[in-house]
Structures are given as structure tokens and as C-alpha cells.
């Protein structure tokens, strides 16, 4: 019999990872709860001054999203690394970048999408105006996949290391800065009624760049990690 086609293999691995996430539900709820908790801390720390909170809401939500993404990244490859599934994937008949893309897609569906659904509620709690909330959701929709994709490179580099988590933030947060800048600026602009298509185009450009290049880098890094 012949091996599966590329798209079939992609879908197969995607479904496997979604199944695994579903069976480990509790573990995957953590980043979402972290996201909500971090955002809740700000009014407590700064004071519940409506104008101030509304002004900094885009920044708070996006920083919280970055941190939650970083927290969740470990789950992409950790389990597979520990039980030997990762080396089997590296030795599969399909190109590793494709398999990495499948895993990252699953990761985003499980960690990024929930953020998307929760964000309007949190935005409302921080007093973000309605016009900005729509833009918030759009930036999260485009931005969180980029976080997963770039993050996968960092995890791929550190998955074999005992204290990889600490190093991971050093490796990835600088790379996240452009996304943070354009996303929060888009939301602020929308709140002020300005045209923010430039920011959105930049984010889309980042997304396409990340989709095409980061699986290759992550695959190379995984191969290195398994040495």
C-alpha cells in the first residue's frame, strides 16, 4: 500500500493532536485561566479608574495573550518528546515541516481560539469601546497563530533541555515584539476611529511569513534537539 498524501497526513496528525488535547482537557484549560487571571490583576494593581483602564486595555490584553501563549507552548512537543513519539515523527515518511505545521495548527485551535472567544468579555470588563472590541478580536485571530508558529521554533530548540522553560521566554519574547506593537496599535487606532489597515496588513504579512518559514526552522530545531 502507498503512504498517505501530504494533506491526508496533515489532517491525520491534526486530528490526533486534537484528540490528545481533548483527553487532557484540564491541562489545556490552564493557559486560558492564566490569561483571565493576569488581566484581572491589572485593575487591582492600578486602580479601577475607567478611563485609564480603557486606555491601556489593548496593551494589557495583548501582553496577557503573549504570556498565556508562552505558558501553553510547552505542550506542543513535550509529551511527544518524553514518550518517543517525536522521534517516530522525525522518522516518518512525510516531511517534518508539514507535521510540525499540523501540530502547531492543533495547538492554536486549542489555545488561541479560546482566547479569541473570551477576549470580548474581558475587553468589556476593562471598559474597551465597542468599535475597538471588533478590532481586538481580529488582531487576536490573526496574531495568536503567529504566536504559536514563532513559539514553536523556541520550544523546538529547548524541548530537550531540563530547564527549557526559562530560556524559552528569553528566546521568544523579543520575536513577539512586532506582533505586540502592531496589534495593540491597531486596537488603539480603532478606538480612536482611525484607519488601521496598515497594521492589519503588517500582521497578515507576519502571519504568511510565519506559516511558510517557521515550520522549517522548527523541524530543523527538533532534529537538533533529538540528537
Partner 1 sequence: MSDTALLQINNLTCIRDDRVLFEHLNLSLAAGQMLLVEGHNGCGKTSLLRILTGLKLPDEGEILWQGETIDQLAADYYEQVNYVGHHDGVKRELTCLENLRLVQAMGKPSGVDLDDALEQVNLYRYGDTLMGSLSAGQKRRLALSRLIVTEAKLWIMDEPFTSLDKSSMASFETMFEHHLDQQGLIVMTSHHDVEMVNADIQRLNLSQ
Partner 2 sequence: MYLWFHKFGSPPHFYRIAGKWLPWLGGLFILLLVAGLYGGLFLAPTDYQQGESYRIIFIHVPAAWMSLFIYVTMAFCGVVIIVWRMKLAEVVLISSAPIGASFTFLALATGSLWGKPMWGTWWVWDARLTSELILLFLYLGVIGLHSAIEDKRVASRAVAILAIVGVVNIPIIHYSVEWWNSLHQGPTVTKFDKPSIYWSMLIPLLLMALAFQVYYVLALFQSCRVELLRRERNSKWVEDISDD
Note the residues at the interface with partner 2 (CB under 8 A): 153, 157-158, 160-161, 163-164, 167, 170-171, 173-175, 177-178, 181-182, 185, 202, 206, 213, 217, 220-221, 224-225, 227
Decide which of partner 2, partner 1, none touches 127; Cβ closer than 5 to 8 Å per partner kind: none
Decide which of partner 1, partner 2, none touches 164; Cβ closer than 5 to 8 Å per partner kind: partner 2
Q: How far is the CB of 3 from partner 1 (least distance, A)?
A: 5
Contacting residue, 78, 92, 113, 141, with partner 1 by CB under 8 A: 92
Position 6 contacts partner 1 (CB under 8 A): no
| Contact positions with partner 1 (CB under 8 A) in 167-186 | none
Write the DSSP assignment of the chain as a string of letters.
Answer: -PPPPHHHHHHHHHHHHHHHHHHTHHHHHHHHHHHHHHHHHHHHHH---HHHHHHHHHHHHHHHHHHHHHHHHHHHHHHHHHHTHHHHHHTSSS-HHHHHHHHHHHHHHHHHHHHHHHHHHHHHHTT--HHHHHHHHHHHHHHHHHHHHHHHHHHHHHTTSTTHHHHHHHHHHHHHHHHHHHHHHHHHHHHTT---HHHHHHHHHHHHHHHHHHHHHHHHHHHHHT-
Decide which of partner 1, partner 2, none touches 16; Cβ closer than 5 to 8 Å per partner kind: partner 1
Q: How far is the CB of 16 from partner 1 (least distance, A)?
A: 6
Distance of alpha carbon 26 from alpha carbon 145, whole angstroms: 22
Q: How far is the CB of 82 from partner 2 (least distance, A)?
A: 18
Decide which of partner 2, partner 1, none touches 70; Cβ closer than 5 to 8 Å per partner kind: none
Distance of alpha carbon 196 from alpha carbon 205, whole angstroms: 14
Position 45 contacts partner 1 (CB under 8 A): no
In the complex with partner 1, the residue whose CB is nearer, 84 or 174, is 84
In the complex with partner 1, the residue whose CB is nearer, 47 or 84, is 84
Amino acid at each position: 500500500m502507498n503512504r498517505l498524501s501530504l494533506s491526508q497526513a496533515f489532517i491525520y496528525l491534526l486530528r490526533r493532536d486534537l484528540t490528545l488535547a481533548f483527553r487532557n482537557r484540564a491541562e489545556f484549560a490552564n493557559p486560558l485561566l492564566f490569561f483571565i487571571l493576569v488581566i484581572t490583576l491589572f485593575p487591582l494593581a492600578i486602580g479601577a479608574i475607567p478611563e485609564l483602564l480603557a486606555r491601556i486595555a489593548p496593551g494589557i490584553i495583548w501582553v496577557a495573550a503573549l504570556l498565556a501563549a508562552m505558558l501553553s507552548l510547552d505542550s506542543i512537543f513535550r509529551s511527544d518528546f518524553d514518550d518517543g513519539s517525536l522521534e517516530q515523527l522525525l522518522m516518518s515518511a512525510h516531511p517534518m515541516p508539514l507535521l510540525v505545521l499540523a501540530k502547531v495548527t492543533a495547538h492554536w485551535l486549542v489555545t488561541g481560539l479560546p482566547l479569541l472567544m473570551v477576549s470580548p468579555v474581558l475587553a468589556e470588563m476593562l471598559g474597551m469601546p465597542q468599535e475597538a472590541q471588533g478590532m481586538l478580536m481580529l488582531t487576536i485571530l490573526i496574531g495568536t497563530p503567529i504566536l504559536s508558529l514563532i513559539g514553536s521554533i523556541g520550544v523546538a530548540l529547548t524541548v530537550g533541555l531540563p530547564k527549557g522553560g526559562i530560556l524559552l521566554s528569553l528566546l521568544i519574547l523579543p520575536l513577539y515584539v512586532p506582533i505586540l506593537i502592531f496589534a495593540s496599535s491597531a486596537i488603539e487606532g480603532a478606538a480612536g476611529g482611525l484607519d488601521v489597515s496598515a497594521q492589519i496588513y503588517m500582521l497578515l504579512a507576519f502571519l504568511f511569513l510565519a506559516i511558510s518559514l517557521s515550520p522549517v526552522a522548527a523541524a530543523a530545531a527538533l532534529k537538533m534537539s533529538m540528537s
